[in-house]
Amino acid sequence: DLVGSPPAPLRSGSKKARRAQKDKSKRQRGTEEKETQYWLRAIEEASARAEEAGASLWFQLDREADCQAILTKLTDSNHQFTVRGSWNRLIEDADENSQHLLECLGKKAPQGAYEVDIPAGPQRTARRARMLVRWERVVLRLGRDCSRQLLELTAVWTVEQGTCPAEEKPLDWPARLWQ
């Protein structure tokens, strides 16, 4: 029927309840039922070809790669990798207690600094930003209950300091996970 307005979509429950149901179903699906399978296959195939050629790889992956299956596959590949962190993960500290990754890195004094030219963007002024860098070798606690698997990596956190206009938020590039 082309006359009149389209019918309203059917909705069951609140937006929060629907999102929780969607997230729950994602967690319950196996890796082979998710897009993750394609990332895992690509890592396997690239690693196999590199091994045949005697080459070393450095995988560069965005936030969607910050998951247990992919981090484990990357570690097992024996190649270098950098993953843009998506979660403020639990880590083990030296006393085998738990704390969050950014809390750990935030306690460290900056270990380096660099400048980078930042182009203008929506709600961002073009500038030369001074970035402070912190890093630490950490042990991530992976799995739903954060106790299933331990994975040792280097985490890097970069934050702008002293160059951000007062009306803007400083650049904050949270943890990059690096092997």
CB 85 within 8 A of CB 177: yes
The closest alpha carbon to 77, from 100, 101, 58, belongs to 58
pLDDT of residue 12: 46
pLDDT tier at 17 (50, 70, 90 boundaries)? low
pLDDT (mean) for 58-62? 92
pLDDT tier at 6 (50, 70, 90 boundaries)? very low
Q: Helix, strand, or coil here: 112? A: strand
Flag whether pLDDT at 171 surpasses 70: yes
- 151 vs 131 pLDDT, higher one: 131
Residue 132: both structure tokens together: 């402070």
Question: How far is residue 15's CA from residue 6's CA, in Å, rounded to a whole number?
Answer: 21
Flag whether pLDDT at 133 surpasses 70: yes
Angle at 40 (CA atoms; ends 36, 42), nearest 5 degrees: 115
Flag whether pLDDT at 8 surpasses 50: no
pLDDT (tens digit per residue) in 63-91? 888 888 999 999 999 999 999 988 888 88
Kindly report whether the global pTM for this prediction surpasses the value 0.75.
no
CA distance readout (Å), 37 to 43, 52, 68, 70, 140: 10, 23, 12, 9, 22
CA distance readout (Å), 1 to 6, 25, 47: 9, 35, 55
pLDDT of residue 99: 86
Amino acid found at 132: L
